Amino acid sequence: MALYAVSIEKETTYHGQPERFSNIYYFQGPEFQAGDANYKRVCDALVAAERPIHNGEVQFKMARIWSAGGTALQNVTLGMFDYVGPGTMEATILTHAETAVLVEWECGRANILGRKVYLRKYIRSQAMPPFVAESVARGKTALPADKKAIWKTYADKVQLIEPVVGTAFVLCSPSNRTPKASNNGFVNDFVVSREFRRN
Protein backbone atom coordinates (compact mmCIF):
# COMPACT_ATOMS: atom_id res chain seq x y z
CA MET A 1 0.00 0.00 0.00
CA ALA A 2 1.21 3.51 -0.82
CA LEU A 3 1.06 6.45 1.59
CA TYR A 4 -0.65 9.62 0.38
CA ALA A 5 -1.27 13.07 1.81
CA VAL A 6 -4.17 15.31 0.81
CA SER A 7 -4.59 18.99 1.67
CA ILE A 8 -8.04 20.62 1.45
CA GLU A 9 -7.50 24.38 1.39
CA LYS A 10 -10.20 26.83 2.46
CA GLU A 11 -10.50 30.55 3.11
CA THR A 12 -12.34 32.71 5.63
CA THR A 13 -12.15 36.32 6.79
CA TYR A 14 -10.18 36.88 9.99
CA HIS A 15 -9.34 40.29 11.47
CA GLY A 16 -10.66 41.86 8.28
CA GLN A 17 -8.33 39.92 6.01
CA PRO A 18 -8.72 36.71 3.97
CA GLU A 19 -7.09 33.83 5.83
CA ARG A 20 -6.35 30.50 4.16
CA PHE A 21 -6.23 27.32 6.18
CA SER A 22 -6.30 23.63 5.44
CA ASN A 23 -6.81 20.16 6.82
CA ILE A 24 -4.22 17.58 5.79
CA TYR A 25 -5.18 13.91 5.62
CA TYR A 26 -2.94 10.87 5.26
CA PHE A 27 -4.19 7.70 3.58
CA GLN A 28 -2.99 4.21 2.82
CA GLY A 29 -4.08 3.30 -0.69
CA PRO A 30 -3.23 1.45 -3.88
CA GLU A 31 -0.57 2.83 -6.17
CA PHE A 32 -1.64 4.82 -9.21
CA GLN A 33 0.37 6.91 -11.63
CA ALA A 34 0.33 10.70 -11.48
CA GLY A 35 -2.76 12.12 -13.14
CA ASP A 36 -4.94 9.07 -12.40
CA ALA A 37 -8.63 9.99 -12.06
CA ASN A 38 -8.81 8.26 -8.67
CA TYR A 39 -6.79 11.08 -7.12
CA LYS A 40 -9.43 13.65 -8.01
CA ARG A 41 -12.16 11.31 -6.80
CA VAL A 42 -10.47 11.13 -3.38
CA CYS A 43 -10.22 14.93 -3.24
CA ASP A 44 -13.84 15.30 -4.36
CA ALA A 45 -14.95 12.91 -1.60
CA LEU A 46 -13.04 14.86 1.05
CA VAL A 47 -14.45 18.21 -0.10
CA ALA A 48 -17.97 16.71 -0.09
CA ALA A 49 -17.40 15.41 3.45
CA GLU A 50 -16.10 18.79 4.65
CA ARG A 51 -18.72 21.13 3.15
CA PRO A 52 -21.49 20.26 5.69
CA ILE A 53 -19.20 20.94 8.67
CA HIS A 54 -18.35 24.52 7.60
CA ASN A 55 -20.69 27.46 7.32
CA GLY A 56 -21.02 29.86 4.41
CA GLU A 57 -18.12 32.05 5.61
CA VAL A 58 -15.73 29.27 4.57
CA GLN A 59 -14.94 29.14 0.86
CA PHE A 60 -13.32 26.03 -0.63
CA LYS A 61 -10.32 26.85 -2.82
CA MET A 62 -8.21 23.88 -3.82
CA ALA A 63 -7.00 20.38 -3.03
CA ARG A 64 -3.60 18.81 -3.53
CA ILE A 65 -2.67 15.14 -3.26
CA TRP A 66 0.92 13.95 -3.08
CA SER A 67 2.96 10.85 -2.35
CA ALA A 68 4.04 10.83 1.28
CA GLY A 69 5.99 7.63 1.76
CA GLY A 70 9.49 8.86 1.02
CA THR A 71 11.77 11.80 1.74
CA ALA A 72 10.87 15.39 0.92
CA LEU A 73 12.84 15.02 -2.33
CA GLN A 74 11.16 11.73 -3.25
CA ASN A 75 7.56 12.79 -2.60
CA VAL A 76 5.81 14.30 -5.60
CA THR A 77 2.51 16.06 -6.26
CA LEU A 78 0.07 13.71 -7.97
CA GLY A 79 -2.76 16.15 -8.60
CA MET A 80 -3.98 19.69 -7.86
CA PHE A 81 -7.65 20.62 -8.23
CA ASP A 82 -9.55 23.89 -7.88
CA TYR A 83 -12.83 24.11 -5.97
CA VAL A 84 -15.35 26.89 -5.51
CA GLY A 85 -18.29 27.49 -3.25
CA PRO A 86 -18.93 27.74 0.48
CA GLY A 87 -19.54 25.36 3.32
CA THR A 88 -23.19 24.33 3.65
CA MET A 89 -23.78 24.16 7.41
CA GLU A 90 -27.00 25.83 8.51
CA ALA A 91 -25.94 27.78 11.57
CA THR A 92 -27.34 30.18 14.12
CA ILE A 93 -24.42 30.57 16.55
CA LEU A 94 -21.23 31.99 15.07
CA THR A 95 -17.91 31.10 16.66
CA HIS A 96 -14.59 32.87 16.94
CA ALA A 97 -12.55 32.15 13.81
CA GLU A 98 -9.97 30.14 15.76
CA THR A 99 -12.54 27.99 17.57
CA ALA A 100 -12.37 24.37 16.46
CA VAL A 101 -14.30 21.17 16.94
CA LEU A 102 -11.95 18.27 17.71
CA VAL A 103 -12.66 15.00 15.86
CA GLU A 104 -10.65 11.93 16.91
CA TRP A 105 -10.13 8.33 15.87
CA GLU A 106 -8.68 5.81 18.34
CA CYS A 107 -5.80 3.79 16.87
CA GLY A 108 -6.06 0.80 19.19
CA ARG A 109 -2.56 1.16 20.58
CA ALA A 110 -0.74 3.05 23.33
CA ASN A 111 2.38 5.22 23.40
CA ILE A 112 5.40 4.59 25.65
CA LEU A 113 3.60 6.35 28.51
CA GLY A 114 0.64 4.02 28.22
CA ARG A 115 -1.69 6.64 26.75
CA LYS A 116 -4.00 5.82 23.88
CA VAL A 117 -2.91 7.01 20.44
CA TYR A 118 -5.41 8.98 18.36
CA LEU A 119 -5.66 10.55 14.94
CA ARG A 120 -6.99 14.09 15.36
CA LYS A 121 -8.53 16.75 13.12
CA TYR A 122 -9.33 20.29 14.24
CA ILE A 123 -12.32 21.62 12.31
CA ARG A 124 -12.76 25.40 12.16
CA SER A 125 -16.42 25.30 11.24
CA GLN A 126 -16.91 29.05 11.92
CA ALA A 127 -20.31 28.24 13.48
CA MET A 128 -22.37 25.73 15.43
CA PRO A 129 -25.51 23.90 14.27
CA PRO A 130 -28.90 25.50 15.00
CA PHE A 131 -30.02 25.75 18.64
CA VAL A 132 -26.56 25.38 20.16
CA ALA A 133 -26.18 27.73 23.10
CA GLU A 134 -23.58 30.49 23.07
CA SER A 135 -21.93 28.86 26.11
CA VAL A 136 -21.29 25.76 23.96
CA ALA A 137 -19.79 27.82 21.13
CA ARG A 138 -17.46 29.45 23.65
CA GLY A 139 -16.35 26.12 25.09
CA LYS A 140 -17.83 26.80 28.53
CA THR A 141 -20.26 23.89 28.36
CA ALA A 142 -20.26 20.61 26.46
CA LEU A 143 -21.51 20.13 22.93
CA PRO A 144 -24.80 18.15 23.23
CA ALA A 145 -24.69 14.63 21.82
CA ASP A 146 -27.39 15.28 19.22
CA LYS A 147 -25.49 18.32 17.90
CA LYS A 148 -22.35 16.28 17.28
CA ALA A 149 -24.03 14.38 14.44
CA ILE A 150 -22.65 16.44 11.53
CA TRP A 151 -19.06 15.96 12.70
CA LYS A 152 -19.63 12.27 13.40
CA THR A 153 -20.94 11.84 9.84
CA TYR A 154 -17.81 13.61 8.58
CA ALA A 155 -15.60 11.30 10.69
CA ASP A 156 -17.22 8.20 9.22
CA LYS A 157 -16.93 9.46 5.64
CA VAL A 158 -13.24 10.35 5.74
CA GLN A 159 -12.07 7.23 7.60
CA LEU A 160 -12.49 5.10 4.49
CA ILE A 161 -12.85 6.52 0.99
CA GLU A 162 -13.59 4.32 -2.02
CA PRO A 163 -13.06 6.40 -5.18
CA VAL A 164 -14.32 3.41 -7.13
CA VAL A 165 -15.83 0.17 -5.84
CA GLY A 166 -13.13 -2.09 -4.44
CA THR A 167 -10.49 0.65 -4.21
CA ALA A 168 -9.96 1.78 -0.60
CA PHE A 169 -8.09 4.77 0.78
CA VAL A 170 -7.82 4.24 4.55
CA LEU A 171 -7.23 7.20 6.88
CA CYS A 172 -3.93 6.94 8.75
CA SER A 173 -1.22 8.95 10.48
CA PRO A 174 1.97 10.14 8.74
CA SER A 175 3.62 7.07 10.27
CA ASN A 176 0.95 4.70 8.89
CA ARG A 177 -1.07 4.19 12.08
CA THR A 178 -4.69 3.48 11.21
CA PRO A 179 -7.89 3.71 13.31
CA LYS A 180 -8.68 0.45 15.05
CA ALA A 181 -12.06 -0.14 13.35
CA SER A 182 -14.34 1.43 10.78
CA ASN A 183 -16.58 4.29 11.90
CA ASN A 184 -14.93 4.64 15.30
CA GLY A 185 -14.40 8.39 15.05
CA PHE A 186 -15.87 10.54 17.79
CA VAL A 187 -16.35 14.23 18.55
CA ASN A 188 -14.81 15.81 21.63
CA ASP A 189 -17.29 17.25 24.12
CA PHE A 190 -15.80 20.74 24.17
CA VAL A 191 -14.71 23.10 21.41
CA VAL A 192 -11.08 24.20 21.55
CA SER A 193 -8.94 27.10 20.36
CA ARG A 194 -6.67 26.39 17.41
CA GLU A 195 -4.42 29.23 16.27
CA PHE A 196 -4.08 30.13 12.61
CA ARG A 197 -0.48 29.47 11.61
CA ARG A 198 1.14 30.89 8.53
CA ASN A 199 3.91 28.94 6.81
| 155 vs 111, higher pLDDT | 155
pLDDT at 108: 74
Q: Are 60 and 84 in contact (CB under 8 A)?
A: yes
| pLDDT at 137 > cutoff 80 | yes
If pLDDT is split at 50, 70 and 90, which confidence band does 199 have? very low
CA distances from 154 to 115, 173, 185 (A): 25, 17, 9
If pLDDT is split at 50, 70 and 90, which confidence band does 197 have? low
Write the CB contacts of 167 (distance below 8 Å, at least 6 apart in sequence): 29, 30, 38
If pLDDT is split at 50, 70 and 90, which confidence band does 140 have? very high
The two beta strands, 192-193 and 99-110, are: antiparallel
